[in-house]
Every structure is written in structure tokens, then in C-alpha cells.
Amino acid sequence: MDTLLGPDQWICHERESWIRLLGRFVPYPFQMNLRHLPREEMKECVLGLLRLLREQRTNKPAHFGEWISSVFGDGIARIFMRPYNFKVWAYPPEMLAYSWISDRVAVTDAERVVSNIIDERDDASWGPNNRFCFPKFGGTGSIWRECAVRLPSDKLRFNSEVRRIDTARRRVVLEDGTTNDYDRLFSTMPLDLLVELAGMDHMKPAARELLYSSTYIYGIGLCGSPCDELATKCWMYFPEDTCPFYRVTVFSNYSPFNVPDISRYWSLMAEVSESRLKPAPASAKLRVDELIRGLLNAGLIQREEDIMNIWQMKIDRGYPTPTLGRDAALNALLPSLDALGVSSRGRFGAWRYEVSNQDHSLMQGVEWADHIVMGSDEITVWHPEIVNHRK
Ligand SMILES: Cc1cc2nc3c(=O)[nH]c(=O)nc-3n(C[C@H](O)[C@H](O)[C@H](O)COP(=O)(O)OP(=O)(O)OC[C@H]3O[C@@H](n4cnc5c(N)ncnc54)[C@H](O)[C@@H]3O)c2cc1C
């Protein structure tokens, strides 16, 4: 990363992530910071945890919904975990597996939860990203743009859609009719699309098991400066239905160069999920109206007139959903394709949410190349539990 951008081209941050609910901010992770809740809700959460200790459930949870209740208790499940997870995944927790969790969800330690309440201590340093760096200029895209200019340009081709893959002849056909022959094909297009373009009818039932949600991204340019409560926050989670977004980032806090003039402007980035079970309003105007109402309801902005500009984008494939049927489908699809010389990797290529961030996706490519050249194992795609294990 330092080679690509230069070591002084980063701004490092202590993570300040928060949960907004019941008209207040609670530091993340929620369960470690219950002291910020109103008395009744705090009591409900603590009693839920204590009941867990008494019940000592031994049955393996059948799905993510049961896993939430068995790890956090019914109080935390009702107030935060269930509504938040529906908002982010756009599918109910009963449809999801929990095999993807590893270090991605902070689990509970009842003694620490109670001590934090009694000692009035904030406990926010959990997790793999409690300190992070962000490019001074150009957002995370600048990393990959710099990476691309270092690659031989005659090997790069953009804006050419692959229309067909002939796995028998080992040939790819592009939209303009050009063909490319390959020895091994490394594909990062969505796996279900790959199965379609390769005409693998026998794999289509497994591919249909793969679900995803879409994401609307909004960039909100504002005049003035953030209120004191937002002055040092990085991002916030929103479980309640008073706003459409599940997460908002104070983007101008990541780098002052994310806005034209930091003395006069600031900015937010909001993310909203969508699926057939959680549709978003049909028109762009209605979606923006809902967004603005949500920003006001959540206290992120005080006046609509401060909004200078709203940029929006829909990412059709936002999150690869870790459904209950996912692993069986992937175990049928990925090795069969590999056997044909086609390796499907990356966020929607391998469809494993737990190894689909930028670092994971990059490493899937690096490890695949090493595997082809040197025969080494591809750890990231096949062993998420190893790469996500806390060092
Ligand atoms: C809302 C959201 C928030 C995220 N936040 C973070 C974050 O905070 N940190 C982080 O590390 N990661 C984050 N990510 C994940 C990050 O975007 C992915 O890790 C990364 O983009 C995966 O790279 P990839 O190359 O595997 O897949 P992609 O970036 O999806 O690339 C696949 C490419 O295949 C192309 N393609 C598809 N079909 C065809 C075809 N027929 N012919 C030719 N090309 C085709 C697509 O156009 C696309 O360019 C986030 C993603 C989303 C959606």
C-alpha cells in the first residue's frame, strides 16, 4: 500500500464506530457498552444475558437468528441484533447461516458486560480494524488505480463485456465478437452469471441457490461543519426503521480532501440495502426523500437546506448473502469449475461474504496465481476461518 500511494499519502484513524438508537449514540460493540441505554432497555439486555447463563443452551443453533439469541440473549437480540441484521442483509436472520461469523461479530462476555456498566467504562476497542488508514486523496479507488498503472497496459482491457465462455475450447467471446483463448481462466464476474455464460445447465440449480442483496450508496455534500457529536466519528450503524440506511460514514472525517474546502463543507456517505424481501421505494425521488427524512430523524443533519448535493448509485450486487444453502451450492460449483480450468474468485466470484472485502479479494487473486505457478494452497477462499482468525 505504501509503495502504491507513498507512505505520507495516508491518514490514520482510531476507529470511532457507534450505534444510533433510542435517540442516542452507543459505542460499538453494542453489547459491551449497554450503560449508554435507557434503564429499561439496559435491564432487558442484561437479564437476557443472565437467562442465557442459567439456561446453558446446548443445541447447535439452526440459523443466524437462533445463533443471535443463543449468544446475545433475547434483549440484545430484540433491541439491536435482529433489526440491524435485517437492515444490513435485507433477509431475515432465519434465512442466514452463521458459519461466516468468525471474528466479524463481537460476541459477549457477561462478566465484562456487567463490569462495564458498574464501572461506567466504555469498551470500544474490539475487532480487527480498531485502527485504520485511509488514502489522503481519491478514496480507496486510488489504491487500485495506482495498482493498475503499474501493470503492463497491453494486458489490460476495460469496458468489454464477456458474452460467452466455451469451456471445451477454452475460449472467451467478448461483446464485439473478439475471442480470447486461455489455458486457465480466472474470473471475478458473479458466479451465477459465469455459470450462465458458460452454458453449464447442470450447474444452474446450484447457482440459483445463491442470493444477494443490492446496495444504494449516497454521497451527501453539506455546507458548514458536522455537529459536535459527529466531529470525530468514523461510521455509525442504524438498526431502527426511522431511517432507511444501515450505515453512515462521516466521509469528510476520513480525509479533509474528500470535500472541496473543509473549512466550508463536510460530507456523509449512507448505505441502504435492498432485496425482494426488503424493497426500496421505486423512484429515485422517493428514495432521496426517504434518505433526507432519515438524516433528519437520526439527527445527522439539522436542516435540509445544508445539503449542497446528493450523489447516488445502485450497486446491483452489493452483498453476497450467506444463506443456509450457500455452502452446499459453492461446494458443488467452485470445484467443478476448477476441474474445467475455470477459477471463480473474488467478492461475487467465490460468493463468500466472509472473505469478500478488498484485502480478501486481492489475496484470492495472489494465492490463485501462486497456486498455478508453485502449487501452494489457496488459503483465503478455502479457509476463511484461518485468514480471519485474530492474530
Ligand atoms: C456497499 C459496499 C461496501 C463495501 N465496503 C467495503 C469496505 O469498507 N472495505 C473493503 O475492503 N471492502 C468493501 N467492499 C467490498 C469491495 O467492494 C470488494 O471487496 C471488491 O470490490 C471485490 O473485488 P472483486 O474484484 O472481487 O469484485 P468486483 O469489484 O465486483 O469486480 C468484478 C468485476 O467483474 C465485472 N464483470 C461482471 N460481469 C462481467 C462480464 N460479463 N464481462 C466482463 N466483466 C464483467 C464487473 O463489472 C466488475 O468490475 C464493499 C462493497 C460494497 C458493495
C-beta pairs of 118-121 under 8 Å, 24+ apart in sequence: 120/35, 121/35
Q: Quick one: pLDDT at residue 75?
A: 97
Q: Using one digit for the tens of pLDDT, what is the confidence trace for 207-218?
A: 999 999 999 999
Between the CA of 341 and the centroid of ligand 1 the distance, in Å, is: 22
Does the pLDDT at position 13 exceed 90? yes
d(CA 222, CA 148): 32
Query: Residue 319 belongs to what H/E stretch?
Result: strand 307-320
Q: What percent of the chain has pLDDT over 70?
A: 97
Q: What are phi and psi of 53, to 5 degrees?
A: -65, -40
Between the CA of 52 and the centroid of ligand 1 the distance, in Å, is: 39
Cell of 218: 449516497
Mean pLDDT lowest among 89-93, 110-114, 376-380: 110-114
Mean pLDDT over residues 304-324, rounded? 98
d(CA 110, CA 107): 10
Cβ-Cβ contacts under 8 Å for 164 (sequence gap 6 or more): 172, 173, 197, 198, 199
From 147, 180, 189, the mutation candidate for ligand 1 (largest count of ligand atoms within 8 A of CB) is: 189
Of 246, 234, 240, 227, the closest CA to residue 297 belongs to 240
Q: Quick one: pLDDT at residue 164?
A: 97
- State whether the beta carbon of 215 lies less than 6 angstroms from ligand 1: yes
CATH topology of domain 214-318: Alpha-Beta Plaits (3.30.70)
Q: Using one digit for the tens of pLDDT, what is the confidence trace for 65-89?
A: 999 999 999 999 999 999 999 999 9
d(CA 166, CA 198): 6
**CB contact burial 29-44 (16+ within 10 A = b; e otherwise):** bbbbbbbbbeeebbeb
From 192, 361, 364, 366, the mutation candidate for ligand 1 (largest count of ligand atoms within 8 A of CB) is: 361
Mean pLDDT over residues 26-39, rounded? 94
d(CA 271, CA 89): 12
Q: Using one digit for the tens of pLDDT, what is the confidence trace for 182-194?
A: 999 999 999 999 9
Q: Quick one: pLDDT at residue 389?
A: 82
Cell of 124: 470500544
Cell of 384: 476463511
- State whether the beta carbon of 347 lies less than 6 angstroms from ligand 1: yes
Q: What is the distance, to the nearest Å, from the Cα of residue 10 to the centroid of all Cα atoms in its chain? A: 22
Residue nearest to atom 9 of ligand 1 (CA): 357
Cell of 16: 470511532
Q: What percent of the chain has pLDDT over 90?
A: 87
Atom of ligand 1 nearest to the CA of 349: 26
Between the CA of 347 and the centroid of ligand 1 the distance, in Å, is: 6
Q: How is the chain split into domains, by residue range?
A: 29-118, 159-210+323-387, 214-318
Between the CA of 295 and the centroid of ligand 1 the distance, in Å, is: 27
DSSP-H helix ranges across 316-387: 326-339, 358-374, 379-382, 384-387
**363 confidence band (pLDDT: 50, 70, 90):** very high
Q: Quick one: pLDDT at residue 53?
A: 85
DSSP symbols for 193-242: HHHHHTT-GGGHHHHHT--EEEEEEEEEEEES---GGGTT--EEE--STT
Atom of ligand 1 nearest to the CA of 345: 26
Q: Quick one: pLDDT at residue 8?
A: 96
Does the pLDDT at position 390 exceed 90? no
Of 274, 265, 372, the closest CA to residue 318 belongs to 274
Q: Using one digit for the tens of pLDDT, what is the confidence trace for 244-295?
A: 999 999 999 999 999 999 999 999 999 999 999 999 999 999 999 999 999 9
Mean pLDDT over residues 194-212, rounded? 97
Between the CA of 144 and the centroid of ligand 1 the distance, in Å, is: 12
- State whether the beta carbon of 271 lies less than 6 angstroms from ligand 1: yes
- State whether the beta carbon of 346 lies less than 6 angstroms from ligand 1: yes
DSSP symbols for 139-151: TTHHHHHHHHHTS
| 3-class SS of residue 133 | strand
| 3-class SS of residue 348 | coil
d(CA 187, CA 182): 12
Mean pLDDT over residues 4-30, rounded? 95
From 196, 357, 360, 366, the mutation candidate for ligand 1 (largest count of ligand atoms within 8 A of CB) is: 357
